[in-house]
């Protein structure tokens, strides 16, 4: 249960799908209002894929009663578990653990100081037993007390080198190919795509532009305070402080959407109860049609299978209320023919 608290405190946390432009008559089928070429090749034919294509078509076809002007085509995506894998731990937490290990040689005192001693010994139980104090200590050490440029470099270096314990892939290779196709498909139809994550905004921005084609100003996330200081040589820097600024999770997600985006989304995708309020805020809006999508992790073989009982990415209430709000559930195992690029 303790891991659930992480998402509240953590300043959490590659290739763009190649657009297929082959337009041979043999593979192309023109159906009403649909593309000549399948825009979502990693998605199996079925109710979920049809619902997406129908929605995008009707909201972007001039003259349709459901037409949405381009300026209002806002699409919001959760990140952990929605755009990339989040098991066995949020990748940003793995980054923090790796940073502690990398910093350890300069901190001999950590040999006897918790939670650092336990991290070095790989004793996660003791780390987690330290509760919020332990988490804040790890965060304060790895996400604050440095300039924003210095932090960005540690994230970029980590993303370029670290690998996942189960797949051996780099973490930015564990983004979901079907979701990359969906992001491209929406953008090709005039949608502006945003990340709205419980994870750390500074962590995500470092690699999201290359990984997802989403620029930093379209990333919303949790954040710490930052101060502006001018060094003695006249160089201004931004210093990351060990104080929370904003938690972009649960009720925080609609608040973050308001503060950062300022418009109510037309299309929202998530995968856990942390996305419940964001989906609710989207689906109950009037004026335009709205689309809510939930990625259900059902594929223990190719990825991970979890929902109601999971410490990470718990999906319970949102699963119960999906029908009530008309949210489309993606069954990863049957709806996606490919997971990673």
Residue choice 6, 91, 194, 304 for contact with its own copies (CB under 8 A)? 194
Q: Are residues 248 and 58 in contact, defined by beta-carbon separation less than 8 angstroms?
A: no
Region near its own copies per CB under 8 A, out of 37-45, 160-168, 280-288, 326-334:
280-288
- Cα Dmax for the chain: 69
d(CA 14, CA 340): 10
Q: How many residues of this chain bind its own copies (CB under 8 A)?
A: 38
Q: How far is the CB of 209 from its own copies (least distance, A)?
A: 7
Q: How many residues does the chain have?
A: 341
Q: How far is CA 261 from CA 60, 214, 255, 273, 313, in A?
A: 21, 14, 10, 21, 24
Q: How far is the CB of 334 from its own copies (least distance, A)?
A: 32
Q: How far is the CB of 246 from its own copies (least distance, A)?
A: 8
Can residue 259 be called a binding residue for its own copies (CB under 8 A)?
A: yes
Can residue 191 be called a binding residue for its own copies (CB under 8 A)?
A: no
Q: Are residues 69 and 310 in contact, defined by beta-carbon separation less than 8 angstroms?
A: no
d(CA 317, CA 275): 10
Can residue 320 be called a binding residue for its own copies (CB under 8 A)?
A: no
Write the DSSP symbol of residue 241.
E
Q: How far is the CB of 109 from its own copies (least distance, A)?
A: 32
Residue choice 34, 44, 148, 338 for contact with its own copies (CB under 8 A)? 148
Region near its own copies per CB under 8 A, out of 5-13, 23-31, 85-93, 231-239:
231-239
Nearest to 260 by CA among 316, 338, 204: 204
Region near its own copies per CB under 8 A, out of 45-53, 88-96, 273-281, 303-311:
273-281
Q: How far is the CB of 283 from its own copies (least distance, A)?
A: 10
Can residue 114 be called a binding residue for its own copies (CB under 8 A)?
A: no
Nearest to 11 by CA among 206, 207, 250, 202: 202
Q: What track of x and - describes contact with its own copies for positions 207 through 226 (by CB under 8 A)?
A: --x-----xxxxx---x--x
Chain positions 236 to 255 lying near its own copies, rule: CB under 8 A, are 236, 238, 245, 251-252, 254-255
Strands (DSSP E) along the chain, which ranges? 74-77, 146-147, 192-200, 219-230, 236-246, 267-270, 291-296, 328-331
d(CA 195, CA 207): 12
Q: How far is CA 211 from CA 164, 204, 254, 301, 316, in A?
A: 17, 10, 24, 24, 29
Residue choice 205, 290, 296, 297 for contact with its own copies (CB under 8 A)? 205
Residues in contact with its own copies by the rule CB under 8 A: 71, 74, 148, 192, 194, 201-202, 205, 209, 215-219, 223, 226-228, 230, 234-236, 238, 245, 251-252, 254-255, 258-263, 277, 280-281, 284
């Amino acid at each position: 249960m303790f891991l659930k608290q992480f998402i509240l405190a953590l300043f959490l946390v590659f290739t763009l799908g190649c657009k297929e432009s082959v337009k041979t008559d043999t593979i192309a089928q023109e159906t009403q209002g649909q593309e000549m070429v399948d825009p979502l090749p990693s998605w199996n034919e079925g109710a979920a894929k049809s619902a997406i294509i129908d929605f995008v078509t009707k909201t972007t076809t001039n003259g349709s009663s459901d037409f949405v002007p381009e300026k209002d085509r806002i699409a919001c995506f959760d990140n952990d578990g929605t755009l990339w894998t989040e098991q066995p731990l949020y990748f940003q937490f793995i980054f923090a653990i790796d940073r502690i290990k990398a910093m350890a040689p300069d901190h001999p005192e950590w040999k006897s100081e918790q939670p650092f001693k336990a991290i070095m010994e790989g004793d996660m139980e003791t780390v987690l037993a330290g509760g919020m104090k332990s988490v804040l200590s790890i965060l304060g050490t790895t996400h604050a007390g440095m300039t924003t440029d210095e932090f960005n470099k540690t994230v970029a270096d980590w993303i370029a080198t670290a690998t996942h314990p189960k797949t051996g892939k780099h973490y930015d290779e564990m983004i979901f190919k079907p979701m990359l196709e969906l992001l491209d498909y929406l953008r090709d139809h005039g949608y502006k795509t945003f990340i709205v994550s419980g994870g750390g905004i500074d962590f995500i921005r470092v690699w999201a532009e290359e990984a997802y084609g989403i620029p930093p100003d379209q990333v919303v996330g949790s954040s710490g305070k930052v101060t502006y200081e001018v060094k003695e040589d006249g160089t201004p820097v931004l210093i990351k402080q060990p104080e929370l600024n904003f938690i972009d999770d649960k009720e925080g997600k609609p608040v973050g959407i308001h503060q950062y985006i300022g418009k109510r989304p037309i299309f929202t995708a998530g995968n856990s109860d942390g996305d419940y309020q964001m989906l609710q805020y989207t689906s109950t809006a009037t004026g335009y049609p709205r689309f809510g999508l939930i990625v259900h992790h059902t594929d223990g073989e190719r990825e991970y299978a979890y929902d109601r009982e999971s410490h990470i990415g718990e999906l319970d209430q949102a699963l119960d209320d999906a029908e009530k709000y008309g949210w489309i559930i993606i069954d990863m195992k049957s709806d996606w023919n490919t997971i990673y690029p």
